[in-house]
Amino acid sequence: MSDTPTSTGSALQITELRFTHGRSDGARFTLEMPHFTLAEAEEVLLVGASGSGKSTLLGLIAGLIQPDGGQIHIGGEDITRLDGAARDRFRGRSIGMIFQTFNLLEGFTARENIELALLFSGSPSSEHRRRTDTLLERLGIERPGAMPGELSVGQQQRVAVARALAPRPALVLADEPTASLDPENARTAIDLIRESCRGWAALLCTSHDPSLKEAFERVEALD
């Protein structure tokens, strides 16, 4: 089996998405997205001020939050119609996630963090080590036996990217992945994420940093 996924159709299609929740100050927050499409292998930067709903939108796309209405198709599957267990299984094999703080599991090595992601992907266990070693080599992770705390910030991000790509997802969601980095390292990190996803998965990245716009051909604003 090739390490590069092949499929047809849009990686992500959103139709009439609606979500409302209350805030701690008593106000109501409403997110509405009538239509949004992300093609296979396409890269999109979603910008917006803090509190505009970028992280909420990614949570909805990932199936971590249930919308009040609308449809979210990922690789042709409407994730809003899946029940909890089925949604978790779908997420494990079809969606990669990169977080601002990386969320690597302490007590597990870099290699084990990647292999754990594969446990939830539905892929044959016989492929896990080969897949992991391919990603380790591709992303230049030279200390696969190191614990997260023993790695630099840049190395931790490489492990986080490898973990996101391990299940061969149709879609990678990167939620403010450069928010804790200085401008120089932020651009390096974005270039790494884009290059790593290219040809492997579509990428939807959120940021409130306007300087990252020049890195993406397509930029959408969430007001």
Convert the pLDDT of each residue in 76-125 to its tens digit: 999 999 998 999 999 999 999 998 888 999 999 999 999 998 987 777 88
Which residues 6+ apart lie within 8 Å of 53 measured at CB? 29, 31, 222
- Cα 159 to the chain's mean position, in Å? 13
- Is the CA virtual torsion 108, 109, 112, 114 positive or negative? positive
Pairing between β-strand 202-207 and β-strand 43-47 as defined by DSSP bridges: parallel
CA angle 62, 64, 67 (to 5 degrees): 90
Report the b/e string of 14-25 with b at 16+ CB within 10 A: beebebeeeeee
Give 70-105 as a 3 state SS string: EEEEECCEEHHHCCHHHHHHHHHHHEEEECCCCCCC
Domains of the chain, earliest start first: 12-221 (3.40.50.300)
For each successive 10 residues of the chain (223 residues), what is the average pLDDT?
48 97 79 95 92 92 96 95 93 91 92 90 84 88 93 89 91 89 81 88 91 91 84
- Cα distance between residue 35 and residue 33, in whole Å: 6
Strand order in the sheet with 95-98: 95-98, 171-175, 202-207, 43-47, 218-221
Model's pTM, two decimal places?
A: 0.87
pLDDT of residue 51: 83
Nearest residue to 51 (alpha-carbon basis) of 13, 71, 24: 24
- How many alpha carbons fall within 13 Å on the CB side of residue 38? 27
Residue 89 φ/ψ region, left for φ over 0, alpha for ψ in the -120 to 50 degree band, beta for the rest: alpha
pLDDT of residue 63: 95
Which residues 6+ apart lie within 8 Å of 132 measured at CB? 111, 114, 115, 118, 144, 162, 166
pLDDT of residue 6: 38
